[in-house]
Copies of this chain bind each other. A is one copy, B any other.
Amino acid sequence: MGSQYDLQVDKVVQEVKRRKSKRVILQLPDGLMQYAVQISNRISKDTGAEAIISLDSCYGACDLAVHAASRLNADLIVHYGHAPWVSKSSIPTIYVEAFASVDIGSVLPKTIAFLRGAKKIGLLSTVQHIHELIKVKGFLEKNGFEVMIGKAAGRVHYDGQVLGCDYSSARSISADVDKLVLIGGGKFHSIGLALETKKESIVIDPSSGSVFSTKELLHQYLRSRYARMVEARAADSFGIIIGIKFGQLNMSEALNAKEKLTGSGKGVTMFCVDNLDPERLNFMGDIDAFVVTACPRIAIDDAERFKKPVLTAEEVKIMLSSELLEGYLSSG
């Protein structure tokens, strides 16, 4: 099975045999879906278990297919692409991180120019590249930097790992370092990291082989979110959306946002959703702005697809405080 990811199918097959599983739900994020049928057929053929691939989207370990497994009386979930979630599933689960086998050695020298003036570096990674931390640490140390890797905490499984909804491993070290280095593709985690730590972050994207600073990205991001908060501040009626996915349900955050908004004279209607289709918010003509408490990525990544302002719960606090809102643009 040729793949740039370490799919560990032999190990999965052994585990399914050892557990004598009868029915296995196989769950993968979109980026790994192309391998689903091959993995499933290997499990069925080599273990005799009934493997069933979940066709629903999968955005993280928070999106674990516990409901599907329970509906289908499955006795095992094989979840690809994410590290184990912080809370245990009621259905036994094997997590296969699917570490990327891209060699980042040749990209590393590009980082040096971005680290000029810094002495102490905080090093972070998304889960796909977490096994590269030691290599990058060695490289940076050889180039005269002092390197710190934050401890796993909160929802995070590995030391130095960041999640779109949890940067605690970064926060634990950011006060002690001059700059941060993140190994991971895409803009979402790098902006989140910069925003949470208020530190310039240098991003190594192993897939594209590019290295960039978050400085300009963060300013763009702040301007765009600021505009949405200003628009939402003028809104009369808010919809608060609660996620029902395995690790996304946050009722207290939703009720908290409701209290804050009604306390400020805003009307509030409550919503719940499994998978949010931005188009469906258009049905809600009576609502001027939304707050998503499910996953911060929904409000941020899908921003262009929403016709109305959609905020995170954190942004509600900022929006309702003149002081925080005024200072927001310079908070990066």
Verify B285–A55 contact, CB threshold 8 A: no
* A 64-79 binary contact with B (CB < 8 Å = 1; else 0): 0001100110000000
* A 13-34 binary contact with B (CB < 8 Å = 1; else 0): 0000000000001000010011
* A65 to chain B: closest residue by CB: B272
Say how many copies of this protein the assembly contains.
Answer: 2
Greatest chain B CB density within 10 A among A41, A239, A272, A286 is at A272
Residues of chain B with a CB closer than 8 A to A5's CB = none
Residues of chain B with a CB closer than 8 A to A183's CB = none
Residues of chain B with a CB closer than 8 A to A51's CB = 269-270
* A37 to chain B: closest residue by CB: B286
4 further contact pairs, Cβ within 8 A, besides A34-B283, A52-B271, A72-B272: A37-B239, A40-B269, A56-B275, A274-B274
Q: How large is the interface on A (under 10, 10 to 19, 20 to 34, 35 or more residues)?
A: 35 or more
Greatest chain B CB density within 10 A among A239, A275, A283, A285 is at A283
**From residue A208, how far is it (CB to closest CB) to chain B in Å?**
22
Residues of chain B with a CB closer than 8 A to A67's CB = 67, 244, 274
Residues of chain B with a CB closer than 8 A to A267's CB = 41
Verify B71–A244 contact, CB threshold 8 A: yes
Verify A54–B283 contact, CB threshold 8 A: no
* A24 to chain B: closest residue by CB: B270
Verify A271–B55 contact, CB threshold 8 A: yes
How many angstroms between the C-alpha atoms of A170 and B244 in the bound complex? 39
A227 within 8 A of B: no
A331 within 8 A of B: no
Per the 8 Å Cβ criterion, residues 219-245 of A in contact with B are 237, 239, 241-242, 244
Residues of chain B with a CB closer than 8 A to A305's CB = none
